[in-house]
Amino acid sequence: MGRWFALSVLLLIGGAMVSVWRGWLDVPAEWSPWAPLDVKAVPNWLTGYKLMRLRSDPELCAQALSSSGLRVTRQSDSPDAKCPLIGALRVQGGEVALSSSFLASCPLAVAYALFERHTLQPVAQAVYGEKVSRLDHLGSFACRNVYNRESGALSRHASADALDIAGFRLASGRSISVLKDWPGQTRDAQFLRQVRDGACEAFSVVLSPDYNAAHRNHFHVDVGRWSVCR
């Protein structure tokens, strides 16, 4: 009996998915696995899947980016460089200003926009009752191996798939630094931990000072194929 029930449920789910894919069943875009990601929509259990699809579909990524509100400029491709960049963007900011613009792949830019809208600002409002006005970072693109080793795997920074976030400035002018404010149980430390945890919903990898000493002064966030939140 249980086996037949399970089979019936699987057939029902499969039929529903085929109906959505074929357009026979009309559902809101945020609940359709095949609809483009809308950065402004509240994330749900399909958001991670939609973010993953962006890595191999530039057109779909461009559609998602158009809903992000980010100011970006497209960069010239450099296919013959030691660390080639294809379809890279220069992110100049959105609602939150940046300490400087940064290079990003399209998937990184979309993930950043999702993080800014659905993690960073809500956490700041909950903890401080005000918005973040600026994000300070240590850079994104760098043609190097992991930890600057002479040999080994290329860093996600080498493909503009990673960003190192160093701190934040609130609308009141208050500054929060990963290096100075992570230790302890202060309100700033709690804010940083909530931001770190929320970032894991938008990025594939989030590494904080809890990971190792190399990250004592920043959050490393990237959109690689591994999944780590620490």
CB 72 within 8 A of CB 90: yes
Which tokens hold the place of 24? Answer: 């026979």
**pLDDT over 70 percentage in the chain:** 88
**CATH at 190:** 3.30.1380
What pTM was estimated for this model as a whole?
A: 0.88
Instruction: Determine, yes or no, domain membership for 101.
Output: yes
Instruction: Determine, yes or no, domain membership for 40.
Output: no
Instruction: Determine, yes or no, domain membership for 224.
Output: yes
CB 38 within 8 A of CB 113: no
Long-range pairs, 62-65, Cβ under 8 A, ≥24: 62/106, 63/36, 63/37, 64/36, 64/37, 64/38, 64/39, 64/110, 65/39, 65/89, 65/106, 65/109, 65/110, 65/113
Instruction: Determine, yes or no, domain membership for 215.
Output: yes
Predicted confidence at residue 125, as pLDDT, reads 98
Residues in the chain: 230
pLDDT tens-digit profile of 112-139? 999 999 999 999 999 999 999 999 999 9
Instruction: Determine, yes or no, domain membership for 29.
Output: no
Instruction: Determine, yes or no, domain membership for 134.
Output: yes
pLDDT tens-digit profile of 11-51? 444 443 444 444 544 667 888 998 999 999 999 999 999 99
How many structural domains compose the chain? 1
Range of the domain at 195: 67-229
Instruction: Determine, yes or no, domain membership for 178.
Output: yes
Instruction: Determine, yes or no, domain membership for 123.
Output: yes
1 SS3 class = coil
Amino acid at 195: V
62: Cβ contacts below 8 Å, ≥ 6 apart:
106
Asked whether the predicted pLDDT for residue 194 surpasses 60, the reply is yes
Amino acid at 68: S
Nearest to 36 by CA among 68, 74, 14, 69: 68
